[in-house]
Each structure stands twice: as structure tokens, then as C-alpha cells.
Structure 1
Amino acid sequence: MKKNLSNSYLVFLNILIIVYSLYICLSVFKEKIIVSDDLSKLYESKQVSTSYFSYIYSFLDSTTMAARPVSGWITGTLIFFSRSNEYIYLLGVLFFPLSLITIYWVAEKILSKELASLLTLLYSCSLIGTSIQFSSIMLNSNLATIFFALSIYYIYVREKIILSSLFFIASILSYEIFLPLIILNLFLIKGNKKRILFLLLTSGIIILFRKVIQPGIFVNSYQRDEVGKIFEFKRVVQVAIYSVKLFFKDIFVGIYRALQNMGNIHILEIIISFVISSVVYKVFANYDFKNTLQSFKNVGIISLISIVLGLSIFLFSSYIPTVFGFDNRNLGAIRLFYTLLMISGIVYVSIQLKLENRIISACFAVIAFLLLMTNLSVKNSWIYASQFNNELFSKLNVALKENHIENGDVCLKYDTFNELRTNPNFTLREPIFYNNWESPMLCEMNGIDSKKIHVYNVERKPDCTIVFLYQNGKMSRIK
């Protein structure tokens, strides 16, 4: 009887996860959340005048996409067809729920149905790498996660070395975040001969593509990994400090800011968060944690090592690990393994302290509720960021007409970083107008002719002759 009831709760939990994930996607569509790099890609779609295959080649032949042909092809396809309908571009956010399905399917084969559901839920509302959930262009990260998870499945469950290698390669050619995790794949392989085969096949094809095929096919080929940075001591220390700050401060700051914004969360969203967390409690109230204690310990150790490996990617780039802003888009691998570490760590410590199942399940329920509330707050912040940009350019349009400005370079002055720090509507400093490539689409969306008037953030172009100050919701010319 208890088992049947537990299974019913598990099915209900999975349904709720699906509903919640689709609700977040629907919010992105309904509110038309387009910020940061998505703005430049959507504007690019308006300029497409060639055939599909010609455009895809030109899109891939760029410094950002030449190394990522797998995800680049899909992104380019969405951009091409969004010429007629901007909402087509937003279909990219659906790759996040697709990654959830893949994570659940693989975790179910390796762990259990219950833990797979918990992992999927907590991963779906994690505050690490939130950009991969709300930005269409970040389908590359979600695609990389999908392929990496399948690679783990075929190497650990099916022991299919070649298939696993191909999926891992597809992951790297989508987004490089899982590249250091090749060590995990090698660890999971049984037999040295198979390890050597996987290593030679995987690294061989990746190196062949990066060093021969990529520069041979694409004129604008660019090697994104900067190996020399690993020998810069200051850089290593910087990454280490930011990593520690991320886990021991930033995550909790994000949760705190989200809870401060609970007043902006709809009552129905709070109710569904409470229902989901309650079902989590019911699912695990009678779960047998003790008999799989060693497994949790192993998963915890593997997850911790994988987090360190995942963070090592920052040693080869100019990015830093952070949960704030659009820069958090590189944390897809960390998001996955931190969730695994959190689950396994809580179970292992709780069993060592001889806590009852109900306390463990209550702990998971509380964590689920906090993360769901945080995720909903982040969703509202992304909506606000998009609205903030549109309001900024809408008021600029009015000011331009009042000042009879019809062409030239125009700069916007507002304290971007202070706005992100002090405005309570921002949870994790969600991206607002800052970079030059964001303005053309914002101009077009708000009635400004982007071909005649070029808008910049004054911090990006301090020598502007025409400057408008945006302060306290008002736009005024100061230069």
C-alpha cells in the first residue's frame, strides 16, 4: 500500500516538474524576454537576405560559432526562420526542458526514479547558471548537457565506447563547458584498452576539428581556449577566489534577494511551489537511504571532483565563475554536479548523524521550496530586465523627437552597476542594456531607426557628443 502510494506521489511529482518547466518557458514567450546577446541575434535575423545554406555557413563562419558547429547550426536555423516571426527565435529556450528530460532519463538508469526526479527538480530551479534557462542563445549549453548526459549513459550503462565518444564530441562542439569532464568518462570506463580507445577517438577528433577542419573551412576561425592563461598565477588565484565566493556567498545572497522579492511572486506560483515541495516530502518520507549510503558517498565524491574539473574551464578563458549577470552562462556543468553534490551530501551527512527519513525528506522539501521561490524571482527579474530595456529606449525615442535628433551617435548615461546592485527587482543582476550590439534591436523595437541613430552606453563610448541621462524614470539631455 505504501509503495503504491509512494509511486503515485512520484508520478504526481514528475507531472508537476513538467508543468512548472513549461510554465517558465511560457513566461519567456508571453513576456518576450529578449536581452543581451539574444538582442543581437534577433536583429541579425532582420538582415538575412541569402538562402538558408548560405546563411548557415556565414553564421558558423564567425569567431563565436566556428568552434561550435553543432549548436551553431541549430541557433542559425532559428535565427534564419525568425525573420518572419520573432517568436521562432524564442523556441531556443525549449532546449532547457529537453535537457531536463535527458537528465531524468539518464539519472533514472543510474540512480533511481525518485532520485532522478529530485535531481531534475533541483537542477531545473537552481540559481547557478540561470542564463541557460532564460536565454534562447544558450541552447548551446543545454545541448552540450544533453549530449554529455547521453555520453555518460552509453559509457556507464550500455558500455558503448564509440557511441559515448561521439556524444561527448557533439557536446564539446556545442559548447566547451564539459571538456575537462573527459576525465570522468575515462574513470567510468572499465578496462584500460577501452579507456585508450575512448581517449584517442575523442581527443583525436576534437583536435582534428579544432586544428585542421575548423581553420580549413572557416575564414574567421578562432581558437577560444587560451592555454597560456593557466600559467598566469594571478589568473589561477582569481578563479579560485571567485569559485569559493560563488559557493559560500553568492548562492546565499541570491536566495536572500529572491526571498526579499516574494511580494512580486504571484500567489498561484507560491501555491504550486508549496505543493511541489510537499510532494517531494511525501516521495522521500519512506525512501530507503541507508542501504545506498555508499552509493551516495561515491556520487558525492565524483560530483565534487567534477565541479573542480568544471571550474578548470575558466583557467583557459577570460570569464570568471559567477552566479550574477549574463556571465553565469558558463556554469551549466557546475549547475548539474552541484545539484548532485547537494543531494548526496545531505543524505550522507544525515545518515551519519542518524537522522530519520522524515527529517531528510523535510530537508529536501525545504530546499525545493527555497529554490523554486528563487527561480520564480529570477524569472520575474528577467522579465523586468526586458521591460527595463524597452522603457529605456522608448523614453529615449521620445527625447530624441523632442530634441529633433534624427541621426548620429547617441549615448545613454545611467549607473548600470548601481542599478543592478540597488534595484530590488533584480535578483542576480540580470542583463540590462550595456553592450553596443544590444542597441540596434532595442532601437527597432521602440521606434528608433537603428540605421540612422546609433545608441551606445556612455561607459562604452565616453567621447559621445550627444548624451542623455536616464535617472529616476526620466530621460533628459545633458550634452
Structure 2
Amino acid sequence: MKKNIERDQLFLNISIIIYVLYISLSVCYEKILLADDLAMAYEYRFISQSYFSFICSFLDSSTMAARPVSGFVTATVMFISQYNEFVYWLGLFFFPLSLLVIYEVAQKILTVQLASLITLLYACSMIGTSIQFSAIMLNSNLATIFFCLSIYILYFHKNIFLSSLLFIASVLNYEIFLPLIFLHLFFIKKNKKRITFIIITLGTIIIFRKIIQPFIFLHSYQRDEIDKILDVKRVIQIFLYSAKLFLNDIFSGIYKSILNYKKLNFFEWIVILIITSLVYKIFSDYDFKKQLQSFKNLGIISLLAIFCGMSIFLFSSYIPTVFGFDNRNLGTIRLFHTIFIISATILLAIKLNLGNKIIAVFFAITASLFMITNISVKNSWIYANRFNHELFSKLKTAIDDNNIIRGEIGLDYDIFNELKINPNLTFREPVFFKNWEAPILCEMNGIDPGKIHVYNIENKKDCKIIFVYKNGKISRLK
């Protein structure tokens, strides 16, 4: 019996690895570049500095000065990418690396079975999808890695100093885990050590952000906007958006994914069936009651972590949403929402005296829905990438037909309606919108970005030349 469980567990882990790598490699194969990745991919083509000079100039920017750790990694990837463009997509593999760390930490704290389930559901979560499909979001994945390692060091080795350094590294990658400092305090038993941890951690972060950062970097930008919490209207807006995210938007995405089930290929269905059947087999005989107190603690901690994680929106200009590229700030919520689903399900099932097989069925169904949604999101990113290229390819033809040599061109394709009604966009994946996305799309489709500047009409309405894209056809409006 034990050998069968170990065998099933091994097969499940192998299947998860195959699935995760398949998703990442699909994105690499399609060479998907959307949103901010378009700007980064264009930038590395014109690097003329030495490695050290480029690192310094890259970090000295409003977006990277506050995130020097991930900024250094991103700059390194970009610098190498000028010699081989494929290197840029290696940034995607920080996501599988974060899964490995999550699994290792979870199986040390909990069990191998639960670690696999947490890793699987986190890998397929519909919250913060950009961190899985965008190479530039390696900062979020690095933040997750350092955060998990800081918890591991504190939980098992009681090393406050090293745990603090890892937590600081997480924040200096991406500040999404900063509100979760309370979790470390939960694991520290003595008040003196808690105070020491707070002084080291918050002291270092504050000194860097308020003193070192503006001193070293000319283009330093303070990303925290504390005064926003005094804006009552915005606080209410954040609360409503958060409620909408959990109560409506997630389920809307799942529903849209189910409607697109025919777009899943044979291999994807096979992997889904294998993984869900293994999840059922493993948990149908799992002793949940033995770890009842652990699940209670997990439920409370994960729920508090979700609330604390959402609080970061109160101190920034971001809005909580699962849509578009704006969902990139939800890495914390993605992790603890996954843990909360598992712990809450088990606690509720035990309270209702439901058997193991019922719990196993629920986890199997949940895994299948998450995987279907995840694959649908992958297909949506592929679709959005192709949509952009089709848009600019047809624009190139229209420009040639109209003998346009230079100037500013406004492109109108009713983007907000497109995002809302297009069934191919599961979570309104980021099609062409921002000004900085245009240069590389122009270059890749034969338009000289030095002579012709393309804008989405929503961002620049005073363009002298306007083209309208509708029903797959492009026509000149003026």
C-alpha cells in the first residue's frame, strides 16, 4: 500500500513537472511578447554600453531603483539577449523555479502530498497570470522564492538574521510580500527576537528606500504612496474591486475557459486526466484529521495573508484585478489563495463529516478546472500575441497602400469592447495599448519605428492619420 502511494506521488510530481514545462515552453516557442515585455525586448536591441554601465543605467530608472535585486537579474538577461534573443524568454523559467521552492518548503512544513497539491494549484491559479506568462515578471517570482526561503530558514533553523536578509531581498525584488512581515513574527516565539527581526528588516528597507536609493539613483522613485490611504473614495474602490475579484472575476474566467474547452489539444487533455486521477488516488486515503490543527493554522494564516497582501493596493496607484497585465501585483494573493482553498476545504469537509473520497473528488475537480483555465489563459496569451502581429501586419499593408512615409498614426480598434467581448481573451490579456509597445511591433512587421510612430487612439486622439481595424480589416478614417 505504501509503495503504491509513493509510486502515485512520484508519477504526480513528474506529471506536474511535465505540465509546467509544457506551458512555459509553449510561450517560448510562440515567442510571446506582450505589454511591458515589448518595451524591454526593443530596448535590449540597442544596448551599446558595457555590461557594468548598462546595469548601472538600467537600475537608475523610476521602475528599477526601488527593486535593485530583480533589476540586476533583468538587466543581465537583457544584456545577454542582445547576442541571442531566445535568452530573454529564459526569464519565464523563474516561475517553475519558484514552484520548486514552494514545493520544497511546503513538503518540509506539511507533507509531500499537500506540497504537490499546493504547487499544482498555484501553478494553475487564475490570479496574477502575468507572473507565469511574462518574462519581465521574473521580479515577482524572485520575490516569491526569497520569501519562501526566509520562512523556511526561520521555521526550521530559527536564524533570524538570515531570514531577515532573505525577506529584505524579497522586498527589493518586488514589494508584494512586504505586508506579510507578520507571518515571520508568528513563527518567532520570543518578543526580543521579534523586535530584533522588525528592526533589522524594516530598518534596512526604510534606510534603503528613503536614504540610499535617492542618494545613489538620480531617477529614484518612491513607489509607496502612503497618503493614498487617506483617500476614502479610493479605499472604498479598492475594497469593491477586491470583492469583485474574488466573488465574480475569478469565476467568470473559469466559465469562459470551460466554454473554450474545444481549443485544448489531445496532449493537454491527457495530462489533465492523468493529474486529476492521481490527485484523487492520493487523497482518497489521506488522513486529514491527523493534521486538523495544522489546517486550522493554515486557514487563519492564509486568510490573514490575503487581507494583508491586498493592503498593498492601499499604498500604491495599482488596482486589484485579475485582468490584463495589471494582475501582475497579485503574486502574494496567488500563493495564499491557493493555500486557503485547500485548508478551508479540508476544515469544512471535516466539520461536515465528509469522507476522504469526497475531499479527493473536490480536489480532483478543482485541479482539472484550474488546469483547463490555465491552458485557456496560455492560449489567450498566444492569441493576443498573434492579434498584435496581425494588427500591425495589416497596418503595414495599409501604410504602403496610402504611400505614408512618416508621421504619427492613430490605430482604433475599439480596444475596450474587444477586451470585453472577445471569447479568446480569458482574462482580457494585454493586446496593443500602451505607446511603448508600438516600436518593436512596428519593427517586427516591417514598419520603420524611427519614421512612423503608432499610437492607440485611446492614448493619442489628435493623430493626423487614423486607421480603423474592424472585423479583420483595416481602413483609413482620415
CA–CA separation in structure 1 for the residues paired with 2:57 and 2:432: 27
Aligned to 1:54: 53
CA distance in 1, matches of 2:248, 2:158: 40
**Corresponding residue of 2:118:** 119
| Amino acid across the alignment from 1:65 | M
The range that moved more, 250-259 or 80-89, is: 80-89
Equivalent position amino acid for 1:345 in 2? A
Quote the residue 2:205 is aligned against: 206
TM-superposed deviation, 1:361: 0.7
Aligned pairs for 1:213-228 within 5 A: 213-228=212-227
Provide Cα deviations, 1:380-434, integer angstroms capped at 9, x if missing partner: 0000000000000000001100001111111101110111111111100000000
Distance 2:175 2:383 in 1: 30
Aligned to 2:407: 408
> Residues of 1 paired with 2:212 and 2:105: CA distance?
32
Distance 1:392 1:263 in 2: 25
Q: Shift of the alpha carbon at 1:86? A: 1.8
Q: Report the Cα offset of residue 9 of structure 1.
A: 0.5
Alpha-carbon distance between aligned partners in 2 of 1:476 and 1:88, rounded to the nearest angstrom: 37
C-alpha separation between the residues in 2 aligned to 1:114 and 1:426? 33
Instruction: Point out the more displaced range, 101-110 or 75-84.
Output: 75-84
Q: Deviations over 1:423-453 (max 9, x none)?
A: 1111000000000000001011111111111
Query: What is the Cα deviation at residue 267 of structure 1?
Result: 2.0
Map of 2:455 onto structure 1: 456
| Correspondence for 2:16 | 17
Measure, in 2, the Cα distance between the counterparts of 1:245 and 1:148.
27
Give, in whole Å, the separation in 2 of the partners of 1:411 and 1:362: 52
Amino acid at match of 1:232: D
Q: Which letter does structure 1 place at the counterpart of 2:258?
A: L
Q: Matches of 1:440 and 1:358 in 2, distance apart?
A: 55
Counterpart of 2:359? 360
Secondary structure in 2 aligned to 1:157? helix
Deviation at residue 211 of structure 1 after TM alignment = 1.1
Amino acid at match of 1:415: D
2:315 aligned partner: 316
Aligned to 2:387: 388
Distance in structure 1 (CA, Å) of the matches to 2:79 and 2:452 = 25
**Which whole-Å deviations, capped at 9, do the CAs of 1:46-76 have from their partners, x for residues lacking one?**
1111101101110000000000000000111
Which ranges of 4 or more aligned residues in structure 1 deviate by more than 2 Å? none
Letter matched to residue 332 of structure 2: A
Pairwise mapping of residues 23-422 of structure 1 onto structure 2 (< 5 A)? 23-422=22-421
Could you tell me which amino acid in structure 1 is paired with residue 181 of structure 2? Answer: I
- Report percent identity of matched pairs: 62
1:268-305: CA deviations, max 9, x gaps? 20121111011001111110001111110110010000
Amino acid of the structure 2 residue aligned with 1:97: P
Report the secondary structure of 2:153's partner residue.
helix
Deviations 1:1-24 (CA, angstroms, capped at 9, x unpaired)? x22111111111110111111101
Secondary structure at the aligned position of 1:467 is classed as strand
Structure 2 spans left out of the alignment, 5+ residues: none
Cα distance in 2 between the residues matched to 1:264 and 1:403 = 38
* Aligned-pair CA distance for 1:85: 2.1
- Residue 3, structure 1, aligned to residue 2, structure 2: yes
Deviations 1:170-193 (A, max 9, x none): 000000000000111112111111
Q: Give the structure 1 partner of residue 472 of structure 2.
A: 473
Mapped to 1, the partners of 2:295 and 2:421 lie a distance apart of: 41
Q: Deviations over 1:148-181 (max 9, x none)?
A: 0001111112111011000000000000000000
Q: What's 2:437 paired with? A: 438
Q: Distance in 2 between matches of 1:283 and 1:220?
A: 53
| Paired letter, 1:395 | K
Structure 1 SS opposite 2:42: helix
Distance 1:59 1:22 in 2: 30
Question: How far apart, CA to CA, are the structure 2 residues paired with 1:263 and 1:415?
Answer: 27
CA offset digits 1:299-342 (Å, max 9, x no partner): 00100000000000000111111111100000000000000000
What residue identity is the alignment partner of 1:21?
Answer: V
Which amino acid in 2 is paired with 1:219?
L
Matched residues in 2 for 1:455 and 1:125: separation? Answer: 35
The one-letter code matched in structure 2 to 1:351 is: I
Looking at structure 2, the residues matched to 326 and 350 of structure 1 have their Cα atoms a distance apart, in angstroms, of: 36
Secondary structure, counterpart of 2:157 in structure 1:
coil
Q: 1-side partners of 2:120 and 2:421: how far apart?
A: 30
Tell me how large the CA RMSD over aligned residues is.
0.7
Offset, 1:81:
1.3
How far 1:461 sits from its partner (Å)? 0.4
TM-score by length of 2: 0.99
Mind listing any 5+ residue stretches in structure 1 that lack a counterpart?
none
Tell me, in whole angstroms, the C-alpha distance in 2 between the residues paired with 1:195 and 1:218. 32
Equivalent position amino acid for 1:255 in 2: I
| Letter paired with 1:300 | G
CA distance in 1, matches of 2:421, 2:170: 38
**1:306, 1:369 → 2: CA distance?**
26
Q: Report the Cα distance in structure 1 between the residues aligned to 2:185 and 2:221, rounded to whole angstroms.
A: 28
Letter in 2 for 1:346: T
Whole-angstrom CA distance in 2 between matches of 1:350 and 1:4: 27
CA distance in 1, matches of 2:400, 2:102: 52
What amino acid maps onto 2:22 in structure 1? Y
Give the CA deviation at 1:84: 2.4
